[in-house]
Chain A
Amino acid sequence: MFVKEGIIASPGIAIAKAFVYEKIAVEVNKNKTDDTQAEIEKFHVALKLSHQQLESIRLKAIAELGEDEGAIFEAHAMVLDDPEFVEGVEAEINENQLSADFAVNVVTDRFYAIFDQMDDPYFSARAADIKDVGTRVQNNILGIVQADLSSLNEDVIIIADDLTPSDTAQMDKKRVMGFATNIGSRTSHTAIMARSLEIPAVLGLCDITDTVKTGDLMVVDGLTGKVCINPTNEQLASYENEKQKYQDYLKELEELKDLDAITLDGRKIELVGNIGEPNDVAGVLKNGGVGVGLYRTEFLYMNSDVMPSEEKQFAAYRSVLEAFPNGPVVIRTLDIGGDKKLPYLPMDNELNPFLGLRAIRLCLKEVGLFKTQLRAILRASIYGHAHIMFPMISSITEVRQAKAILFDCMKELDAEQVAYDKAVKVGVMIEIPSAAIAADIICKEVDFFSIGTNDLCQYTLAVDRMNQEVSYLYDPFNPAILRLIKQVTATSDKKENFFTGMCGEMAGDPAAAVLLLGLGLYEFSMSALAIPQIKKIIRSVRYEDAKVIAETALNLETGEEIMDFIQDAMKKLNINI
């Protein structure tokens, strides 16, 4: 028995026998040829055969996997027809007397290198396509017939160096329970294929093809990124148990996904996701989130060597907005400074960065940078229900300053005759105690609040939760925090068409759900995976009961007492977490 760790590419647990899929290596014939005409002939025969093979794979892919997968092989066929490819190979044969297979190898490598060095996952995928096509033509020139995965006799886990679209299209999908490969990443073809087939995959295992033999019993654990080869009976039982738990979770997810988050007595709650980039939207949708309660735009800035352009930001915001035609998307403006720095924006070292120039304070100083982002959000706002949220607000003055810049951007767009949603919602994060205390003042200028519990706790309790000496003091159930939350929701209840949400970790904590519901929170924003469980709790409680629980909790003296009381109260209501 032994265990190896790799990259998680697709979740789930598979237990089955290994099938090591090895390809016959192509030995390139580097001898010069005298008969260039014969080599050209061989090349064209191989091209024709490759075309026929691709067409039959394409039809199989469309039938089994859909149009998108079929389109990959259409792209492959275009490479076969590409004059640069065909003429390039002919030139290598004619001018350098290369054998047909060597010429194909040289030209394929040349194009592969161009695409592979482009820093864009789309082009990396095209590089893999080109290599796949080149190998096919070479095999056909040399008359090599590769083993394929189309007839498997039992359920297996495929072990390979890497899998190409040609490999997976021909594969007998009913028999394949999981993938484990030497190379690959979350965005490689094998990973995408595993996720679309909904089978677990662990990639990047370096030498798995050398360490596993066909027929070995193995486990692919796509939840922790481990593979276990020839597990002990004890391990096997534990994996069977984990597998069952994951299947139960998926079943629950399926049952809850399209249901409303509504209490037994009819109070409707909005459950939404926290995201860092447009790709995260898929997880929110899958887990039944109705929108985005926190889009952390700083990743757009941090994953770039230069300031992201208005165009680039517009495209990102638009794609997120379009994913939720009926739900809100709360876009938080740049929250940088403190521990988050940008390589292209010089910032002085501060003695107290968390009390210094960060988030809205920085944006109000760097107006050009702020306007680029606001213009991009405004332009994207016509594609959905955009909500603009300012972080780190400490007083109404900052809200007014930020809104003045927003209005400037609107005027500019009006003058340029560019469309935007004139009723775009504007809100603020409540994460500084002064903003919570003065919520009744600040709410006059905005349409919503979102409570950021992580920072609110740190600032209110004066505790750095990364500091192990004092982190025990960090407690969102501290009565002072609950009273601040209550103060914010109580204020917002008095204003029409206004809502209060929460986007800190507390919003996704099952132990806090009933309490927060009772405190009057309307929108809960959390990591996508937490949504189903919170929804289940909301659906199993009465709002009237939750209010009584919250009211009692507010009169207790310590975080521990509150925690104990809540757990007890939830037990009495038969809510298991």
Chain B
Amino acid sequence: MIKKEVTVLNATGLHARPASMFVQTAGKFKSKIFVIKDGNSINAKSIMGIMAGGISQGTTIEIQAEGEDEMEAVDALVQLINDKFGE
């Protein structure tokens, strides 16, 4: 299993468009992917889970992936967050 911590930088957080982009990106990978926020585990492929997670600007989350493409999955999601979803 691979895990990495990352801080959400874009203004709206994982809300609206960034939330869809995040979930769509996660959906491209075969691995099981989770976002850990304050000890709670959220399925990264669930749009409702991610939006309900209340992940706002400045929140630090951990991304965990397990499966054949776990490395690529974590890297892609971390990069998306660090690029502020192209905002």
Give chain A's interface residues, CB within 8 Å of chain B: 74-75, 78-79, 81-85, 111, 114-115, 118, 122-123, 126, 130, 311, 315
Q: Which of B16, B24, B47 contacts A79 (CB 8 A)?
A: B47
Q: Is the CB of B20 within 8 A of A75?
A: yes
**How many residues in B have their beta carbons less than 8 Å from beta carbons of A?**
16
Kindly provide the distance from the CB of B64 to the nearest chain A CB, expressed in whole angstroms: 15
User: Would you call B51 an interface residue if the criterion is a C-beta within 8 Å of the partner chain's C-beta atoms?
Assistant: yes
For this complex, 7 residue pairs linking A to B, each with C-beta atoms less than 8 Å apart, are: A74-B20, A75-B20, A79-B48, A82-B46, A82-B48, A84-B46, A118-B52
Q: Is the CB of B16 within 8 A of A78?
A: no
Whether A122 touches B48, Cβ cut-off 8 Å, given contacts A83-B43, A311-B57, A315-B11, is: no
In the complex, the chain A residue whose C-beta lies closest to that of B20 is: A78
Kindly provide the distance from the CB of B25 to the nearest chain A CB, expressed in whole angstroms: 12
Kindly provide the distance from the CB of B70 to the nearest chain A CB, expressed in whole angstroms: 17
Whether A83 touches B45, Cβ cut-off 8 Å, given contacts A78-B23, A115-B52, A126-B51, is: yes
Interface string of B16-33 (1 = CB under 8 A from A): 100010011001000000
Give complex CA distance A75, B21 in Å.
Answer: 11
In the complex, the chain B residue whose C-beta lies closest to that of A77 is: B47
Kindly provide the distance from the CB of A171 to the nearest chain B CB, expressed in whole angstroms: 25
Chain B residues within an 8 Å CB radius of A83: 43, 45-46
Chain B residues within an 8 Å CB radius of A118: 52
Q: Is the CB of A82 within 8 A of B52?
A: no
Give complex CA distance A84, B49 in Å.
Answer: 7
Q: Is the CB of B52 within 8 A of A114?
A: yes
| New contact pairs (17) apart from A82-B46, A111-B48, A311-B57, CB-CB < 8 Å | A74-B20, A75-B47, A79-B48, A82-B47, A82-B48, A82-B49, A83-B45, A84-B43, A84-B48, A85-B46, A111-B52, A114-B48, A114-B52, A115-B48, A115-B51, A123-B51, A126-B51
Chain A residues within an 8 Å CB radius of B15: 122
Interface string of B44-87 (1 = CB under 8 A from A): 01111101100001000000000000000000000000000000
Kindly provide the distance from the CB of B24 to the nearest chain A CB, expressed in whole angstroms: 8
Q: Which of B11, B27, B49, B51 contacts A81 (CB 8 A)?
A: B27
Give complex CA distance A83, B45 in Å.
Answer: 7
Chain A residues within an 8 Å CB radius of B43: 83-84
Question: Most chain-A Cβ atoms within 10 A of its Cβ — which of B15, B48, B49, B51?
Answer: B48
Chain B residues within an 8 Å CB radius of A114: 48, 52
Question: Most chain-A Cβ atoms within 10 A of its Cβ — which of B16, B46, B49?
Answer: B46
Chain A residues within an 8 Å CB radius of B47: 75, 78-79, 82
Kindly provide the distance from the CB of B84 to the nearest chain A CB, expressed in whole angstroms: 14
Chain B residues within an 8 Å CB radius of A315: 11
In the complex, the chain B residue whose C-beta lies closest to that of A107 is: B48
Chain B residues within an 8 Å CB radius of A74: 20
Give complex CA distance A149, B24 in Å.
Answer: 32
Chain B residues within an 8 Å CB radius of A126: 51
Kindly provide the distance from the CB of A513 to the nearest chain B CB, expressed in whole angstroms: 41
Give complex CA distance A81, B28 in Å.
Answer: 13
Q: Is the CB of B52 within 8 A of A122?
A: no
Give complex CA distance A126, B43 in Å.
Answer: 18
Nearest first, the 5 closest Cβ-Cβ pairs linking A and B are A84-B46, A78-B47, A82-B46, A114-B52, A84-B49
Give complex CA distance A126, B50 in Å.
Answer: 13
In the complex, the chain A residue whose C-beta lies closest to that of B46 is: A84
Q: Which of A82, A115, A122 contacts B16 (CB 8 A)?
A: A122
Chain A residues within an 8 Å CB radius of B57: 311
Give complex CA distance A122, B15 in Å.
Answer: 9
Give complex CA distance A59, B11 in Å.
Answer: 31
In the complex, the chain A residue whose C-beta lies closest to that of B23 is: A78
Give complex CA distance A282, B20 in Å.
Answer: 27
Give complex CA distance A75, B19 in Å.
Answer: 11
Kindly provide the distance from the CB of A132 to the nearest chain B CB, expressed in whole angstroms: 13
In the complex, the chain A residue whose C-beta lies closest to that of B24 is: A78
Kindly provide the distance from the CB of B39 to the nearest chain A CB, expressed in whole angstroms: 18
In the complex, the chain B residue whose C-beta lies closest to that of A122 is: B16
Kindly provide the distance from the CB of B42 to the nearest chain A CB, expressed in whole angstroms: 9
Chain A residues within an 8 Å CB radius of B48: 79, 82, 84-85, 111, 114-115, 130
Question: Most chain-B Cβ atoms within 10 A of its Cβ — which of A84, A85, A315?
Answer: A84
Give complex CA distance A7, B57 in Å.
Answer: 35
Chain A residues within an 8 Å CB radius of B20: 74-75, 78
Give complex CA distance A81, B43 in Å.
Answer: 13
Chain A residues within an 8 Å CB radius of B24: 78
Kindly provide the distance from the CB of B40 to the nearest chain A CB, expressed in whole angstroms: 13
In the complex, the chain A residue whose C-beta lies closest to that of B56 is: A311
Give complex CA distance A83, B50 in Å.
Answer: 12
In the complex, the chain B residue whose C-beta lies closest to that of A311 is: B57
Give complex CA distance A8, B51 in Å.
Answer: 31
Kindly provide the distance from the CB of A69 to the nearest chain B CB, expressed in whole angstroms: 15
Give complex CA distance A287, B35 in Å.
Answer: 46
Give complex CA distance A311, B9 in Å.
Answer: 13
Chain B residues within an 8 Å CB radius of A311: 57
Kindly provide the distance from the CB of A401 to the nearest chain B CB, expressed in whole angstroms: 33
Kindly provide the distance from the CB of B34 to the nearest chain A CB, expressed in whole angstroms: 11
Give complex CA distance A81, B47 in Å.
Answer: 9
Question: Most chain-B Cβ atoms within 10 A of its Cβ — which of A74, A83, A111?
Answer: A83
Kindly provide the distance from the CB of A94 to the nearest chain B CB, expressed in whole angstroms: 18
Kindly provide the distance from the CB of A439 to the nearest chain B CB, expressed in whole angstroms: 40
Chain A residues within an 8 Å CB radius of B23: 78
Give complex CA distance A126, B52 in Å.
Answer: 10
Chain B residues within an 8 Å CB radius of A122: 15-16
In the complex, the chain A residue whose C-beta lies closest to that of B58 is: A311
Chain B residues within an 8 Å CB radius of A123: 51
Give complex CA distance A81, B50 in Å.
Answer: 14
Kindly provide the distance from the CB of B4 to the nearest chain A CB, expressed in whole angstroms: 21
Give complex CA distance A311, B10 in Å.
Answer: 12
Chain A residues within an 8 Å CB radius of B45: 82-83
Chain A residues within an 8 Å CB radius of B27: 81
Chain B residues within an 8 Å CB radius of A78: 20, 23-24, 47
In the complex, the chain A residue whose C-beta lies closest to that of B42 is: A84
Give complex CA distance A330, B49 in Å.
Answer: 41
